[in-house]
Amino acid sequence: MTTLDMSTTPLREVNVTLQEAAKSQSNSAFEITNPRGSHAVAVGLDGPLSVTIKGSTGYYCAGMNKSATIRVEGSTGPGVAENMMSGEVVIEGDASQYAGATGHGGLLNIKGNASSRCGISMKGIDIVVHGNIGHMSAFMAQKGNLVVLGDAGDALGDSLYEARLFVRGSVKSLGADCIEKEMRPEHLEILKDLLAKAGANAKPEEFKRYGSARKLYNFNIDHADEY
Amino acid sequence: MCGIVGLFLKKDDLRPKLGDMLTDMLITMTDRGPDSAGIAIYGDEAAGSTKITVQSDTPDIAFAGLEAALNEALGTTASVKTVDTHAVIVLPVEKQDAAVSFLEGKGLRIMGVGSSMEIYKEVGLPKDVAARFGLRDMGGSHGIGHTRMATESAVTTMGAHPFSTADDQCLVHNGSLSNHNQMRRKLAKKGVFTKSENDTEVGAAYISSRIAEGASLGQALEGTIDDLDGFFTFVTGTKNGFGVVRDPIACKPAVMAETEDYVAFASEYRAFADLPGIEAAKVWEPEPATVYFWER
C-alpha cells in the first residue's frame, strides 16, 4: 500500500504516479489522503490498480477509468467516472450531476444519492445507485443498466435508446419515449447479478423495469406537418 | 462560471472568525471567478442607526472631509470609516434617505444600506480584494461572497456581486438570466429601478420588490423559479439569515454543509475543506427548484 498525501503532493504528481502504476500492470494498492475536494483525482487509469481516496473529491473524479478499482470514501463532484471503459468505481457518499456519463463499461456503484443527469448518454456501463437519482437521468442512454434502489426524479430515460433502467422506488415522471416494461426472467437475472456485485440489500422482484418505446427511432410521416 | 460561498453561524462564539472563514472559502473559489470578488457581511448593529457602504474610484479625494460635509449638510452625527475604495457611514436611521441622496449627489456609488449589512466588492483576484478590505478581520453572524467570471456585463465594480436592492438584502448568482431585460422593464413600470446592465441585479430587484409587496423571503425565492428564465443558483442574504434556490435545470453546481455550529453553502466542496468539523458535517446537494433558507 502506497499513500499519496494531497496536502503535500500536487494533483498532477498524484495522477502521474497512479497512471504509471496502472500501465505497469502491477496491480498495486494506493491510498490518497487529503483530497479536499480536488478536481480530476485518479483519472485515466489504464490498468489493474486499487485506489482508495480518503475524503470527498470535486469535478471529474475517476474519469476515463479502465480496469482500475477506485473507492471514494466521501462524496464526489460533477462527472464522476465519466466515460469509464471497465473496472469499478465505488462512491461511499453522494455523487453530483452526470455521474457515469457516456460510460462504455465497468461498474459505478454509488452508495448514497446521485443528482441530476446520472448515466446521461451511457453506452454500456452498469450503474447501481443505492439512494435516489435526480432529474433527466439516463437521458439518451444507449446501452448498459441503471439500477436505482431509491426514487428517480423527473424525465427519467428521456429519448432513451437500448439501456435498461430498473427503479425500486417511485419515478417522478418518465421522459419522452420512456415506458415501463415487463420484467422478464432474464432481467431478474441481470438485476440479481448487479445487486450482488454492488453489495445492495434488495430483491430483484421489488424493481420495475423501464425502457425505450422506440417511437423516436424513425421519423413518423404523420408528423411532417408539425415541422 | 462564477463561484459562490455563504456561511450562516448558529452559535455566537464563531462570530469573530466569520470573516476569516469566509475569506478562505472565497479564495478557494478563485478558479471559478478571477475577474472580481465581493462579500456581504452581516455584523454588529447599533440601535437606531443605519450603515451605508459607498465606493469611489478616487477614495482619497472623495472621502476626504466627507464626514464633516455630511454632518453639516444633514445636521447629524454621522461617522465615516474608510476601507480602501469603500467607506462605511453610520448615522441615525431617520437621516438615511437624505444621506443616500447627499452621497449620490457627491458621485459616490452606493454598495448597500442596512442596519447590519456591509458590502465590499472590487475588480481583481479574490485574494487581493480580500486583503484590500481586510475581510479576514471582520466578524458577524452571517455573510455571502462571490467570485466573478463575467458573462452578462462588463468587469467593473458595479458589475461585481453581491447586489443589494433593498435595506439589508443582497444576492449573489452563478449562471445567467435570459429574461432580465424584460424583467427590468416590468420592474421599472412598478417603480423599481436597477443601477447596472447586469442580469443578477435584476434578480435581486425582483426578490426585493416581492418582499416589499409583502412576500416572505421563501415566497420571493419561490417566485424566481416561475418568473426568472435562465440558469441560476442564487444565494440571498437578509438581516436574519440566508436563502438558497436553484433553477429547475440545476446545471450550476451547489453544495451545502451543516453542523451544530453553522450552515455553509459553496459552488464546490473544495471551499468547505478548512471549515471546522467538516468531516462530520451533513453535506448534500440542494435539490433543483427547491427553496432553502435559514433564519435566526
Angle at B32 between CA B114 and CA A109, to 5 degrees: 115
Q: Report the alpha-carbon distance of residue B91 to residue B93 in Å, rounded.
A: 6
Residue A153: pLDDT above 90? yes
Give the whole-number percent of chain A exceeding pLDDT 70.
100
Q: Indicate left, alpha or beta for B73 from its phi (over 0: left) and psi (-120 to 50: alpha).
A: alpha
Residue of B31, B32, B246, B270 to mutate when probing chain A, most A C-beta within 10 A:
B270
pLDDT tens column, B27-86: 999 999 999 999 999 998 878 999 999 999 999 999 999 999 999 999 999 999 999 999
Nearest Cα of chain B lies from the Cα of A152 at a distance, in angstroms, of 13
Mean per-residue pLDDT, A140-154: 98
Please check whether residue B170 is in contact with residue B237, taking contact to mean a CB–CB distance below 8 angstroms.
yes
Residues of B in contact with A59 (CB under 8 A): 268
Residue B296: pLDDT above 90? no
> What are the φ and ψ backbone dihedral angles of B282, each rounded to 5 degrees?
-80, 120
Residues of B in contact with A36 (CB under 8 A): 270, 273
* pLDDT for the residue A220: 84
Residue B103: pLDDT above 90? yes
Nearest Cα of chain A lies from the Cα of B202 at a distance, in angstroms, of 27
- pLDDT confidence band for A221 (50 / 70 / 90): confident
Residue of B252, B269, B275 to mutate when probing chain A, most A C-beta within 10 A:
B269
CB contact under 8 A, B270 and A59: no
Residue A210: pLDDT above 90? yes
Question: Which residues of B are known catalytic residues?
Answer: 2
Give the whole-number percent of chain A exceeding pLDDT 90.
94
Q: In order of start, what are the domains of chain B with their CATH numbers?
A: 3-44+123-295 (3.60.20.10), 47-115 (3.30.70.3400)
Residue B163: pLDDT above 90? yes
pLDDT tens column, A7-53: 999 999 999 999 999 999 989 999 999 999 999 999 999 999 999 99
Residue A73: pLDDT above 90? yes
- Least confident among A73-82, A214-223, B137-146, B214-223: A214-223
Nearest Cα of chain B lies from the Cα of A189 at a distance, in angstroms, of 34
Cis (ω within 30 of 0) for the bond into B162?
Answer: yes
Q: Please indicate if any CB of chain B lies within 8 Å of the CB of A36.
A: yes
Mean per-residue pLDDT, A70-79: 98
CB under 8 Å, gap of 24 or more: what pairs does A91-100 form? A93/A56, A93/B283, A94/A131, A94/B283, A94/B284, A94/B285, A95/A129, A96/B253, A96/B255, A96/B285, A97/A134, A97/B250, A97/B251, A97/B253, A99/A127, A100/A125, A100/A127
* pLDDT for the residue B47: 85
* pLDDT for the residue B220: 96
Give the whole-number percent of chain B exceeding pLDDT 70.
100
* pLDDT for the residue A217: 87
> What are the φ and ψ backbone dihedral angles of B90, each rounded to 5 degrees?
-110, 130
ipTM score of complex: 0.92
Residues of A in contact with B288 (CB under 8 A): 116, 134-135
Mean per-residue pLDDT, A196-210: 97
CB contact under 8 A, B250 and A134: yes
Q: Report the alpha-carbon distance of residue B252 to residue B234 in Å, rounded.
A: 10
- Least confident among A80-84, A121-125, B82-86, B291-295: B291-295
Residue A161: pLDDT above 90? yes
> Which of B251, B269, B284 minimises the CB distance to A77?
B269
